[in-house]
């Protein structure tokens, strides 16, 4: 803990931490030592971590990267935070040591961590570039070895894309595997928590500890606790030492390799696929014909849900309140105009528009129908293959400020992560090699519902 705290302090300029509390971390580390001495340690007890600042924490402020929540303190820990830490009862958690809170795009809206009200995080591979987003602080911290692991959240790619841009491993489990209790809501039907770490093996340990049924989240999956590490290690039937992936059918959707895909990304991903073949996997062609439509579908559904979720930040129940106002409505207007950044305001307006009377059928309802069809396309593909593979993003990490004032450019770059999010499927990003400018490129693996073990197994064999 001391070494990681010192390293995090020495690399403050990466902008990955929003809150770092050395004293609190050392106190947790001492408790972990006692637990270990008492023979009650979990594999992760005493291992440092930090949390994306959308997870509420009782012993640290939570801002969601927004001015709206500056100075906010939650009275309780998010379920994921509690399970990785002390545990809701103070004893049964994994006993990891939290160093603090990590930078992210405001309310997790973004793909570069440039929408944080507290400044950007930087990519440790090249600090003139973005680390990806919205879990940019998490990815940058793990990539720079300021932490062995971090939590993230993924609504439309926010674990997988920063993992790809920063050369770390990240997994977004099936919707419902990790509790959303205490995770500040962006788009509730899409939001999922997951780990970012150095390897699939570390992700498996973390995911086992942070997942599981939670009665406080109405969409939590009612399944017995999973040991993803055991699933990752279990040999496939018919596999050999040289061919651990023998019999695994890897589907390549042709829509994931379009003309517009950067040549360096395509080359790196194809080399990774050849590696999977060497490990015994069989590559099969599949199709996800509505891949392109996932962009308009997501950018209707996610803002619609966001506009509803963010209505709670009204200067009364939560958040920033303007100093001067004439009446209640003026107080709401001024508080929200001052507290929310431009991207969040844009999404609230889009969401309110698509949900309004007269537009609901044309936009929101159409998007919901297409969402179902996108999920059905995956099920058709999974009749031909066990996992789907492709790129995570169409390019390597871009330069800070490069996208300027063009939000649509960032939306379009979400094309390969949005389909699995809309379908609620598990997806992960595994470092595949380096592309243009020596920047990391991730291989995306998408599995069927609750097939995290299959993804982690394939990623582990590849690593």
Q: Which residues here bind ligand GLN, judged by CB under 6 A?
A: 108-111, 134, 154-158, 186, 302, 414
Task: Locate 402 and state its tokens.
Answer: 């490069």
- Of 360, 349, 355, 348, the closest CA to residue 310 belongs to 348
Measured from the Cβ of residue 279, the count of other Cβ atoms closer than 10 Å reads 17
* DSSP-assigned letters across all residues of 145-210: TS-SEEEEEESSSTTHHHHHHHT-EEEE--TTSS--TTBPPSSTTT-EEEEEESSHHHHHHHHHHH
Residue with tokens 């050395």: 22
Contact 140, 123 (CB under 8 A): yes
* Least distance in angstroms from the C-beta of 78 to ligand GLN: 16
Please identify, using beta-carbon distances, which residue of 106 and 201 lies nearer to ligand GLN.
Answer: 106
* Least distance in angstroms from the C-beta of 170 to ligand GLN: 11
Contact 207, 201 (CB under 8 A): no
Three-state secondary structure readout of 245-267: CCCCEEEEEHHHCCCCCCHHHHH
* DSSP-assigned letters across all residues of 24-66: HHHHHHHHHHHHHHTT---TTTT-EEEEETTB--SSS---TT-
User: 317: which DSSP letter?
Assistant: S
3-class secondary-structure state, position 78 = coil
- Of 218, 254, 202, the closest CA to residue 431 belongs to 202
Residues classed as catalytic: 52, 134, 158
Which residues does 393 contact at the CB level (< 8 Å), separation at least 6? 132, 157, 161, 164, 165, 265, 413, 416, 417, 442
Task: Locate 388 and state its tokens.
Answer: 């789907």
* Least distance in angstroms from the C-beta of 326 to ligand GLN: 35
Q: What is the β-pairing status of strands 192-197 and 149-154?
A: antiparallel
Distance CA 285, CA 91 (A): 49
Residue with tokens 């039937």: 237
Q: What is the β-pairing status of strands 97-102 and 169-172?
A: unpaired
Cα-Cα-Cα-Cα dihedral of 163, 169, 170, 173, to 10°? Answer: 150
Tell me the residue nearest to ligand GLN as measured from the CB: 158
Please identify, using beta-carbon distances, which residue of 153 and 199 lies nearer to ligand GLN.
Answer: 153
Q: How many residues does the chain have?
A: 463
Task: Locate 324 and state its tokens.
Answer: 């001067």
Task: Locate 348 and state its tokens.
Answer: 């609230």
Distance CA 242, CA 261 (A): 32
């Amino acid at each position: 803990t001391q070494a990681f705290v010192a390293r995090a302090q020495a690399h403050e300029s990466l902008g990955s931490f929003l809150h770092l509390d050395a004293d609190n971390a050392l106190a947790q580390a001492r408790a972990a030592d006692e637990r270990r001495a008492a023979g009650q340690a979990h594999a992760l007890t005493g291992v440092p971590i930090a949390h994306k600042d959308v997870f509420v924490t009782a012993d640290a402020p939570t801002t969601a990267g927004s001015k709206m929540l500056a100075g906010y303190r939650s009275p309780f820990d998010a379920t994921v935070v509690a399970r990785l830490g002390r545990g809701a009862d103070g004893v049964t958690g994994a006993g990891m040591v939290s160093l603090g809170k990590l930078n992210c795009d405001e309310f997790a809206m973004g793909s570069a961590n440039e929408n944080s009200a507290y400044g950007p995080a930087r990519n440790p591979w090249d600090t003139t570039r973005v680390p990806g987003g919205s879990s940019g602080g998490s990815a940058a911290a793990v990539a720079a070895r300021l932490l062995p692991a971090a939590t993230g959240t993924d609504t439309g790619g926010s674990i997988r894309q920063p993992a790809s841009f920063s050369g770390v491993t990240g997994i977004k489990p099936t919707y419902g595997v990790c509790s959303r209790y205490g995770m500040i809501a962006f788009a509730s039907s899409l939001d999922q928590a997951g780990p970012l770490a150095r390897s699939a093996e570390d992700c498996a340990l973390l995911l086992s500890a942070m997942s599981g049924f939670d009665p406080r989240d109405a969409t939590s999956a009612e399944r017995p606790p999973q040991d993803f590490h055991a699933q990752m290690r279990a040999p496939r039937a018919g596999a050999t030492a040289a061919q651990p992936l023998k019999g695994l059918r890897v589907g390549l959707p042709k829509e994931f390799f379009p003309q517009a895909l950067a040549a360096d990304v395509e080359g790196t991903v194809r080399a990774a696929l050849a590696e999977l073949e060497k490990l015994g996997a069989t590559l099969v062609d599949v199709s996800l014909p509505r891949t392109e439509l996932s962009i308009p579908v997501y950018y209707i559904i996610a803002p619609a849900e966001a506009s509803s979720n963010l209505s709670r930040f009204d200067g009364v129940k939560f958040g920033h309140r303007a100093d001067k106002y004439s009446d209640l409505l003026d107080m709401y207007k001024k508080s929200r105009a001052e507290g929310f950044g431009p991207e969040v305001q844009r999404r609230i307006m889009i969401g309110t528009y698509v949900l309004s009377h007269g537009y609901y059928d044309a936009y929101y309802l159409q998007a919901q129908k297409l969402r179902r069809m996108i999920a059905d396309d995956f099920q058709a593909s999974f009749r031909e293959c066990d996992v789907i593979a492709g790129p995570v993003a169409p390019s390597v990490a871009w330069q800070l400020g490069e996208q300027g004032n063009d939000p649509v450019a960032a939306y379009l770059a979400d094309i390969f992560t949005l389909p699995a999010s809309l379908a609620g499927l598990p997806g992960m990003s595994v470092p595949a090699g380096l592309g243009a400018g020596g920047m990391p490129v991730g291989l995306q693996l998408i599995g069927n519902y609750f097939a995290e073990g299959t993804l982690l197994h394939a990623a582990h064999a590849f690593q």
